């Protein structure tokens, strides 16, 4: 384990934006950012990020860098015999050794955070700290250890639309990853339904599956053409149906995201009913709920501030979810695995429909005051689960509710509860 060996190790580009099910996956970037990047609700690539394809040589080099770093960690005793949580602390020291060796050899690593645009709102700055366009050695070591502890069996290939890449390239990348990381059993990508329906042929999708691709995650958002057009999604309900069917016919698993609240107050009912209709026709394997949050510096925020978009209340969003679950036909899993969701709704249609509706109806039966208290507790729990605790500004805002070291919600009026809910929701990562 010479310093010369450590100095030769390099960081590799990882994917900051991943499905929740891929949070512990090894990740590589086939492209950078989003080739569409016009969705009104999405802030992710709106602060100066540009789309670019990466050459296959660049991706191969990253895979080789990751393998070399993974081998080095094992040589240094990280994961020897079995990986445990204790490896996190030990890996941090090894990462610092590598950084020091690289610095002494004249190699400079990214400082950690990417340079921010000249003008960015404080709330957007909060979210941007979690994204890395240029990961450091520490970031890469952390991902490798997390992946190994989780079993070392999954890989996510990003960024935003893996089906935009030619089948030959995607298949070659999967083959290279499997050569370097033989424990991987599942490969997933994000995709656009339009790419599956119109850009890739049935044979290309089959080849991707034969190479090892297992699942594609689609952002459906809505089944209403009027909503899709309003938020500039760039697809139609027909694209959603055809894209999901194309995956199924190719033998690929299909996971979709829908966004309750996206139609706003004006299109709420249409959004819910049309989304249920499209889901019934598309028949994805998984439906993941992502309730709308209006993010800073997004086009939708401009529409909200100007009064052109009126958001749904929390109760209205829950009622949309009820319609979707009640009216969707077919067999599929429902998962509420996002911090943006008020309720934790999980189950399989059609057999778990009654239980999911009962959970929703329990919330709807609460009084207005009880709904506020429920929301604040849920948002605080989600925040602590996501970040490991609460931030100083939230703790300071909660101070009037503290009594003998415990939170007493009876000390707050409705206005204070509403402002606290907004504060916490504004920092949750969906």
Q: Say what the pLDDT of residue 3 is.
A: 54
Label residue 48 by pLDDT band (50, 70, 90).
Answer: low
Is 97 domain-assigned?
no
Residue 193 CA to residue 282 CA, distance in Å, equals 11
Is 98 domain-assigned?
no
Residue 47 has pLDDT above 70, yes or no: no
Label residue 241 by pLDDT band (50, 70, 90).
Answer: very high
The bridge status of strand 213-221 relative to strand 186-191 is parallel
Provide the domain count of the chain: 2
Q: Say what the pLDDT of residue 217 is.
A: 98
DSSP letter string, 185-211 = -EEEEEE-HHIIIIIS-HHHHHHHHHH
Q: Say what the pLDDT of residue 112 is.
A: 45
- Between the two ends of the chain, the Cα-to-Cα distance in Å is 41
Is 177 domain-assigned?
yes
Segment 332-337 mean pLDDT = 96
Domain boundary among 364, 388, 410: 364
Is 102 domain-assigned?
no
Q: How many CA atoms lie within 13 A of 14 on its CB side?
A: 28
Same domain, yes or no: 321 and 412: no
Residue 111 has pLDDT above 70, yes or no: no
Is 262 domain-assigned?
yes
Is 211 domain-assigned?
yes
Same domain, yes or no: 289 and 384: no
Is 325 domain-assigned?
yes
Label residue 133 by pLDDT band (50, 70, 90).
Answer: confident
Same domain, yes or no: 240 and 275: yes
- Mean pLDDT in the chain? 92
Residue 425 CA to residue 430 CA, distance in Å, equals 10
Is 216 domain-assigned?
yes
Same domain, yes or no: 189 and 316: yes
Range of the domain at 306: 11-63+108-364
Residue 276 CA to residue 299 CA, distance in Å, equals 26
Same domain, yes or no: 289 and 387: no
Q: Which of 297, 212, 221, 255 is nearest to 18 (CA)?
A: 255
Label residue 197 by pLDDT band (50, 70, 90).
Answer: very high
Same domain, yes or no: 195 and 323: yes
Q: How long is the chain?
A: 430
Q: What percent of the chain stands above pLDDT 70?
A: 94
Residue 332 has pLDDT above 90, yes or no: yes
Segment 197-221 mean pLDDT = 97
Same domain, yes or no: 386 and 329: no
Residue 118 has pLDDT above 60, yes or no: no
Same domain, yes or no: 22 and 57: yes
- The residue written with tokens 């999980």 in the block is 346
Label residue 80 by pLDDT band (50, 70, 90).
Answer: confident
Same domain, yes or no: 298 and 376: no
Condensed to tens digits (0 to 9), the pLDDT of residues 336-384 reads 999 999 999 999 999 999 999 999 999 999 999 999 999 999 999 999 9
Same domain, yes or no: 119 and 268: yes
- The residue written with tokens 């999967």 in the block is 174
Domain boundary among 334, 364, 394: 364
Same domain, yes or no: 339 and 284: yes
Domain boundary among 364, 396, 415: 364
Label residue 387 by pLDDT band (50, 70, 90).
Answer: confident
Condensed to tens digits (0 to 9), the pLDDT of residues 274-330 reads 999 999 999 999 999 999 999 888 899 999 999 999 999 999 999 999 999 999 999
Segment 175-182 mean pLDDT = 98
């Amino acid at each position: 384990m010479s310093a010369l060996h450590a100095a030769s190790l390099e960081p590799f580009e990882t994917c900051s934006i991943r499905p929740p099910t891929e949070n512990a996956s090894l990740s590589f970037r086939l492209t950078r950012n989003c080739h569409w990047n016009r969705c009104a609700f999405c802030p992710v690539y709106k602060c100066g990020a540009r789309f670019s394809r990466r050459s296959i040589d660049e991706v191969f080099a990253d895979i080789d860098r990751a393998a070399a770093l993974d081998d080095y960690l094992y040589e240094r005793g990280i994961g020897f015999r079995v990986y445990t949580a204790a490896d996190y602390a030990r890996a941090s020291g090894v990462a610092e050794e590598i950084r020091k060796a690289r610095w002494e050899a004249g190699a400079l690593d990214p400082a950690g955070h990417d340079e921010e645009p000249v003008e960015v709102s404080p709330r957007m700055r909060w979210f941007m700290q979690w994204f890395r366009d240029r990961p450091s050695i520490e970031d890469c070591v952390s991902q490798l250890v997390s992946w190994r502890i989780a079993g070392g069996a999954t890989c996510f290939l990003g960024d935003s639309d893996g089906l935009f890449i030619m089948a030959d390239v995607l298949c070659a990348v999967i083959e290279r990853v499997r050569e370097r990381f033989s424990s991987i059993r599942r490969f997933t990508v994000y995709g656009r339904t339009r790419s599956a329906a119109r850009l890739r042929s049935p044979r290309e999708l089959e080849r991707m599956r034969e190479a090892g691709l297992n699942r594609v995650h689609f952002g459906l958002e809505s089944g209403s053409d009027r909503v899709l057009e309003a938020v500039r999604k760039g697809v139609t309900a027909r694209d959603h149906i055809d894209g999901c069917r194309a995956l199924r016919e190719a033998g690929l698993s299909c996971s979709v995201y829908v966004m309750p609240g996206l139609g706003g107050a004006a299109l709420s009912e249409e959004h819910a009913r049309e989304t249920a209709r499209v889901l019934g026709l598309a028949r994805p394997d998984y439906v993941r709920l992502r309730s709308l949050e209006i993010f800073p510096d997004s086009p939708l925020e401009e529409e909200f501030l100007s009064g052109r978009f009126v958001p749904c209340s929390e109760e209205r969003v829950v009622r949309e979810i009820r319609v979707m679950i009640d009216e969707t036909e077919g067999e599929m899993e429902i998962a509420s695995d996002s911090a943006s969701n008020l309720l934790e709704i999980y189950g399989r249609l059609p057999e778990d429909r009654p239980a999911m509706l009962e959970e929703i109806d329990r919330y709807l039966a609460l009084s207005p005051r009880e709904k506020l208290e429920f929301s604040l507790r849920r948002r605080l729990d989600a925040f602590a689960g996501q970040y490991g605790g609460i931030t100083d500004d939230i703790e300071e805002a909660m101070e009037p509710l503290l009594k003998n070291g415990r939170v007493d919600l009876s000390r707050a009026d409705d206005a204070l509860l509403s402002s606290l809910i907004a504060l916490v929701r504004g920092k949750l990562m969906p």
